[in-house]
Amino acid sequence: MQNPTSSRPRTAAAAATVAALAALALAACSSGGGEPAAQPSGSATSGGAAKVAVTLTSAGGADACEVDTTSVPAGPVTFTVTNKDSAVISEIELLAGQRIVGEKENLAPGLAPVSFTVTLDGGSYAVYCPGAATDTVPFTVTGQAATPTGGASAILEAGTTTYATYVAGVVASMVTSVDALKAAVDAGDLPAAQKAYAAARPFYERIESDVAGFVLPGADPTDNSGNLDYLVDMRASNLDDAVGWHGFHAVEKDLFEAKTITAGTKTLAAELDANVRKLAELSRSLTYRPEDLANGAAGLLEEVQANKIKGEEERYSHIDLVDFAANVEGAEQAFANLEPGLEQIDPDLTATVEQRFDDVRALLKTYEDPTALGGYRPYTAALKASDSAKLSQAIQALQEPLSSIAEKVATAR
């Protein structure tokens, strides 16, 4: 959720779909993961794959990136990278223009050589070694590759379409669940309304980074009275006095702190229902670029760190872990839709992020409680005191690799 002063107004059509595949699309099929490579064997083609040895060195502080051959025939190419003694260079990338078609990170002196294999079309490339005195080495591929197939870019585009379907489904469920909340409030049924509140929250939290920032048509983006995220999800701590308190958390306070349903609660619930419907309407026109999914996932994890782990999101109901799980689920859905394309660009990164999501999910599982509201243990002051560091560290471990996905997918075309 956004602070009213930092909202990012976004018109529905602004996140436009990307143009078609770039003509020079390459099939960059990687293999070779993070295993130590065989000894570099100079330049040559053997067993079908051309071999290129890259050696990182440091001579009196002038770090160098030595590429033993700078021209290979089209087809599979294996790059073997050895960091002899450069403390400065920690990664190398193979670039086609601005696009990363292969790379190795976490290189450091003393570690075993690593390799990656890519299938390259004929054309001009560059080996980029950030930190080297001459950091870009031109690299030429002659001839044509055998069969250019779809490529990462097309797969990523397909992923954005699937993700849009996911968002639409969550939005529809959000509307239904808020309808149910309104009905329970209207009926004056406190236990039912509390349950309906906990049931409705996860839908917004799963897609918050996509739908936050909408302003009502014609509204001034700096005026919170037209900011739907403000009207739907503002917490007591960030109120704009001129606009007053509306939305989920105003209802939450009545249901969980005052524990009374008043005429005011009913007005708030009706208003929330109407605003969620407006949000649903506006979000219908959303389209996504691959980097929107990556940035959205990163945004959801920032939400977890900023609000859920601190217990500030659900101050009265203490269902912060329900929101936490929903943020993570939303981030994971976005990642899952990028995964098939990302797998071709950077299999190591894909595997790392997947593993870290597994770790977070396994950790969250330990907080499940079917008898608790929303299915997770209430995030009390005591639980926060004992467990917040552990939760935060698991998210940090995921945030770090996840934050580099956007660039990978944005340049994959």
Q: Which residues bind other proteins (CB under 8 A)?
A: 58, 60-62, 84-88, 90, 98, 106, 108-111, 128, 130-136, 291, 352, 356, 389, 393, 396-401, 403-404, 406-407, 410-411
The answer to whether 126 and 132 have CB atoms below 8 angstroms apart is no
Find tokens 């469920």 and name the residue.
173
Q: Which residues contact 131 (CB under 8 A, 6 or more apart)?
A: 63, 86, 88, 89, 90
- Provide, rounded to whole angstroms, the least separation between the CB of residue 155 and other proteins: 18
> What is the distance between the alpha carbons of residues 378 and 411, in angstroms, rounded to a whole number?
42
- Provide, rounded to whole angstroms, the least separation between the CB of residue 61 and other proteins: 4
- Provide, rounded to whole angstroms, the least separation between the CB of residue 399 and other proteins: 8
- Provide, rounded to whole angstroms, the least separation between the CB of residue 86 and other proteins: 8
CA angle 204, 209, 211 (to 5 degrees): 60
CA distances from 322 to 262, 348, 351, 404 (A): 26, 30, 26, 27
Between 132 and 255, CB nearer to other proteins: 132
- Provide, rounded to whole angstroms, the least separation between the CB of residue 354 and other proteins: 12
61: left (phi over 0), alpha (psi -120 to 50) or beta: left
- Provide, rounded to whole angstroms, the least separation between the CB of residue 170 and other proteins: 26
- Provide, rounded to whole angstroms, the least separation between the CB of residue 133 and other proteins: 4
Between 287 and 392, CB nearer to other proteins: 392
> What is the distance between the alpha carbons of residues 186 and 266, in angstroms, rounded to a whole number?
6
- Provide, rounded to whole angstroms, the least separation between the CB of residue 307 and other proteins: 21
Between 134 and 260, CB nearer to other proteins: 134
Residue 261, CB-side half-sphere exposure with 13 Å CA sphere: 19
> What is the distance between the alpha carbons of residues 233 and 212, in angstroms, rounded to a whole number?
9
SS3 at position 215: strand
Backbone phi, psi, residue 246, to 5°: -135, 170
Between 59 and 187, CB nearer to other proteins: 59
Between 279 and 398, CB nearer to other proteins: 398
> What is the distance between the alpha carbons of residues 324 and 305, in angstroms, rounded to a whole number?
9
Between 12 and 351, CB nearer to other proteins: 351
> What is the distance between the alpha carbons of residues 199 and 175, in angstroms, rounded to a whole number?
12
- Provide, rounded to whole angstroms, the least separation between the CB of residue 328 and other proteins: 16
Between 128 and 163, CB nearer to other proteins: 128
Between 159 and 202, CB nearer to other proteins: 159
- Provide, rounded to whole angstroms, the least separation between the CB of residue 100 and other proteins: 9
b/e map 344-379, b = 16+ CB within 10 Å: bbbbbbbebbbebbeebeebbeebeeeebbbbbbbb
Secondary structure letter of residue 188 according to DSSP: T
Pairing of strands 136-142, 62-67: unpaired
> What is the distance between the alpha carbons of residues 40 and 114, in angstroms, rounded to a whole number?
10
Between 92 and 185, CB nearer to other proteins: 92
Between 229 and 303, CB nearer to other proteins: 303
Between 109 and 123, CB nearer to other proteins: 109
Residue 86, CB-side half-sphere exposure with 13 Å CA sphere: 27
DSSP letters of 102-119?
EEE----TTSPPEEEEEE
Tell me which residue of 321, 335, 332, 333 sits closest to 377, measured CA to CA. 321
Q: Which residues contact 11 (CB under 8 A, 6 or more apart)?
A: none
- Provide, rounded to whole angstroms, the least separation between the CB of residue 403 and other proteins: 5
